[in-house]
């Protein structure tokens, strides 16, 4: 078949009805199975302002300042996420932030004041940041999301406080400081070092551990969130994470979901945590760079396919969460020099690959902003009257493409839990692989062409392909198989 670069082709090879039946059965039997979720990450301050009365110190011209978004605003825009097809929402930490920001500099940006708008500079674990909203606002978000079939993951920090906090100088009952200041080298000892120079909480001390655990668990229980995204996982020891797993399960339920931010995480490097059942999932830091390289012509297609296959080594019942952009890395579209056609190929690969796809807010409308701090800029709302991103243009065609791919992913068990068979030959320019779900018989053939021209490709049909007809899930229509 002929393929243009921008149009990966899909062919589903078995009866649709059987796949649908099995999908419904499986969803009921595995209430806590996150293999079919599509996760959307929002920096609350940068998304939607639903309450101007809490906009203390807001300066939307400051790339590191507060921009006014809040939980009420996010709640009011949940239909935007439901319409896109996402099934889970991850929001940044919402506890009270340090009172004043820090002077900051970045290439290409005027020196600016960096505030705690991102939520990771906590002053008090037991209080909410009023610019984000109240505990009731968080509960209303969770309830409104649940009505739309969307789970909410709350980001929590255990490793450090803000640069200033109510904990500085605090000591335990037997006189030990709560904080380690400026000690250690993260290259030598990740647990005792000060990440980004932030005061390191000594969570190995039971009094400190109980304070942060109790605060986060109480907030989760009050609001009814479905799980935690665990910040700076690498920088806390396994004893803490084992205790964390026990307590969250005991107090928040067996299905309470844990997603670890282990910097550099892959199927291989996360396996120890999965083996010890500390968490249910971890971010896959390898997908973004691998995809960027391949779509730009670096490396053979067969090697990239072998990499995708290696992601299937993840332990059964545990998940990799793979993303194209994040608040801690330059955004993919910028890394690709703004090439939206190549970006689309990575979107297609993200949505046809094993794991929990994570969409960084606004990426689905080709949000601009490349490196920090502009990778955390405002959600584009185009002509819609939503601040802070009112008037920022949106690529609606890109959003439609995301919608289509998310819908295809959610319809096919093969794409979420199926096996991976690489069909690319050593010299083939086109990447070809088959995803197959043995239980339902659902199969999807994925073909991706990174060349700047149409190419012809022969794909060896397996014995399991069955009926000699398939359906193109992107362009529509039948595909004849010979
Ligand atoms: Ca506000």
Q: How far is the CA of 60 from the centre of ligand 1 (A)?
A: 12
Q: How far is the CA of 390 from the centre of ligand 1 (A)?
A: 14
Name the token pair of 28: 């009921």
For 87-123, the pLDDT digits (tens) are 999 999 999 999 999 999 999 999 999 999 999 999 9
Q: How far is the CA of 343 from the centre of ligand 1 (A)?
A: 32
Q: How far is the CA of 363 from the centre of ligand 1 (A)?
A: 22
**Collapsed DSSP state (helix, strand, coil) of residue 115:** coil
Q: Which pLDDT does position 467 carry in this prediction? A: 62
Under 8 Å between Cβ of 252 and 218: no
User: In which residue are the tokens 């002053």 written?
Assistant: 123
Q: How far is the CA of 255 from the centre of ligand 1 (A)?
A: 32
Distances (CA, A) of 205 to 240, 248, 263, 396: 10, 19, 24, 51
Q: How far is the CA of 268 from the centre of ligand 1 (A)?
A: 42
d(CA 29, CA 478): 33
Q: How far is the CA of 388 from the centre of ligand 1 (A)?
A: 9
Kindly report the number of other CB atoms within 10 A of residue 417's CB atom: 20
Going by their DSSP bridges, the two strands 2-3 and 455-456 should be labelled as antiparallel
Q: How far is the CA of 453 from the centre of ligand 1 (A)?
A: 48
The helix (run of H) or strand (run of E) holding residue 208 is helix 206-223
Beta bridge partners of 201: 179
- Domains of the chain (ranges; CATH) run 1-31+418-482 (no CATH), 34-411 (3.20.20.80)
Q: Which pLDDT does position 263 carry in this prediction? A: 95
User: In which residue are the tokens 């991850």 written?
Assistant: 90
Q: Which pLDDT does position 466 carry in this prediction? A: 66
Q: How far is the CA of 100 from the centre of ligand 1 (A)?
A: 18
Q: Which pLDDT does position 181 carry in this prediction? A: 79
Q: How far is the CA of 288 from the centre of ligand 1 (A)?
A: 32
Q: How far is the CA of 200 from the centre of ligand 1 (A)?
A: 30
Q: How far is the CA of 86 from the centre of ligand 1 (A)?
A: 24
DSSP string, 76-88: HTHHHHHHHT--E
d(CA 236, CA 274): 16
d(CA 367, CA 302): 31
Of 46, 30, 5, give the one whose Cα is nearest residue 363. Answer: 46
d(CA 211, CA 201): 11
Of 130, 116, 111, 117, give the one whose Cα is nearest residue 198. Answer: 116
Kindly report the number of other CB atoms within 10 A of residue 33's CB atom: 16
Burial of 68 (0-12, 13-18, 19+ CB in 10 A): buried
Of 296, 379, 298, give the one whose Cα is nearest residue 338. Answer: 296
pTM over 0.85: yes
Under 8 Å between Cβ of 373 and 42: no
d(CA 101, CA 104): 9
DSSP string, 53-83: GG-TTB-TT-TTSB----HHHHHHTHHHHHH
Q: How far is the CA of 72 from the centre of ligand 1 (A)?
A: 8
Q: How far is the CA of 2 from the centre of ligand 1 (A)?
A: 51
Q: Which pLDDT does position 164 carry in this prediction? A: 96
Q: How far is the CA of 51 from the centre of ligand 1 (A)?
A: 4
**pLDDT by residue for the chain (482 residues), tens digit each?**
444 333 333 333 322 222 222 222 333 333 368 999 999 999 999 999 999 999 999 999 999 999 999 999 999 999 999 999 999 999 999 999 999 999 999 999 999 999 999 999 999 999 999 999 999 999 999 999 999 999 999 999 999 999 999 999 999 999 999 999 766 788 888 998 889 889 999 999 999 999 999 999 999 999 999 999 999 999 999 999 999 999 999 999 999 999 999 999 999 999 999 999 999 999 999 999 999 999 999 999 999 999 999 999 999 999 999 999 999 999 999 999 999 999 999 999 999 999 999 999 999 999 999 999 999 999 999 999 999 999 999 999 999 999 999 999 999 999 999 999 999 999 999 999 999 999 998 999 999 999 999 998 888 877 777 665 688 999 888 887 77
Q: How far is the CA of 81 from the centre of ligand 1 (A)?
A: 20
CA angle 279, 74, 28 (to 5 degrees): 45
Q: How far is the CA of 68 from the centre of ligand 1 (A)?
A: 4
Q: How far is the CA of 438 from the centre of ligand 1 (A)?
A: 49
Q: Which pLDDT does position 480 carry in this prediction? A: 76
Q: Which pLDDT does position 9 carry in this prediction? A: 39
d(CA 58, CA 230): 28
User: In which residue are the tokens 């590191």 written?
Assistant: 64
Q: How far is the CA of 145 from the centre of ligand 1 (A)?
A: 19
Q: Which pLDDT does position 182 carry in this prediction? A: 67
Q: Which pLDDT does position 478 carry in this prediction? A: 86
């Amino acid at each position: 078949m002929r393929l243009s670069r921008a149009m990966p082709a899909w062919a589903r090879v078995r009866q649709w009805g059987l796949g649908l039946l099995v999908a419904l059965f499986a969803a009921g039997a595995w209430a806590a199975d996150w293999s079919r979720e599509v996760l959307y990450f929002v920096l609350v301050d940068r998304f939607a302002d639903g309450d101007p009365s809490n906009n203390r110190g807001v300066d939307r011209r400051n790339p590191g300042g507060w921009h006014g978004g809040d939980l009420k605003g996010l709640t009011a825009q949940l239909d935007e996420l439901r319409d896109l097809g996402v099934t889970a929402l991850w929001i940044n930490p919402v506890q009270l932030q340090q009172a004043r920001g820090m002077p900051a500099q970045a290439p290409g940006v005027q020196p600016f004041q960096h505030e705690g708008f991102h939520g990771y500079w906590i002053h008090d674990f037991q209080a909410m940041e009023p610019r984000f909203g109240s505990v009731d606002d968080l509960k209303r978000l969770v309830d409104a999301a649940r009505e739309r079939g969307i789970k909410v993951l709350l980001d929590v920090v255990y490793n450090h406080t803000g640069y200033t906090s109510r904990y500085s100088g605090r000591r335990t009952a037997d006189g030990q400081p709560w904080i380690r200041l400026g000690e250690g080298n993260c290259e030598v000892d990740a647990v005792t070092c000060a990440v980004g120079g932030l005061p390191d909480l000594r969570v190995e001390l039971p009094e400190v551990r109980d304070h942060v655990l109790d605060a986060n668990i109480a907030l989760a229980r009050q609001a009814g969130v479905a799980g935690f995204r665990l910040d700076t996982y690498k920088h806390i020891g396994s004893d803490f994470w084992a205790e964390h797993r026990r307590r969250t399960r005991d107090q928040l339920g067996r299905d309470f979901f844990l997603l670890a931010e282990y910097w550099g995480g892959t199927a291989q490097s996360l396996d120890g945590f999965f083996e010890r059942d500390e968490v249910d999932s971890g971010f896959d830091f390898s997908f973004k760079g691998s995809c960027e390289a391949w779509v730009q012509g670096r490396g053979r297609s067969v090697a990239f396919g072998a990499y995708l296959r290696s992601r299937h080594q993840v332990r059964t019942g545990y998940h990799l969460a793979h993303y194209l952009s994040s608040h801690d890395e330059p955004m993919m579209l910028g890394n690709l020099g703004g090439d939206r056609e190549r970006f689309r190929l990575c979107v297609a690969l993200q949505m046809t690959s094993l794991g929990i796809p994570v969409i960084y807010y606004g990426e689905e409308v080709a949000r601009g902003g490349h490196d920090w701090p502009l990778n955390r800029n405002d959600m584009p709302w185009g002509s819609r009257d939503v601040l802070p991103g009112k008037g920022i243009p949106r690529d609606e065609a890109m959003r439609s493409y995301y919608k289509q791919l998310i819908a295809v992913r959610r319809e096919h068990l093969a794409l979420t839990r199926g096996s991976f068979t690489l069909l690319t030959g050593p010299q083939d320019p086109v990447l070809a692989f088959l995803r197959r779900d043995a239980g339902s018989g659902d199969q999807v053939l994925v073909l991706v062409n990174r060349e700047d021209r149409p190419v012809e490709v022969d794909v060896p049909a397996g014995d399991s392909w069955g009926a000699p007809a398939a359906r193109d899930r992107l362009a529509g229509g039948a595909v004849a198989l010979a």
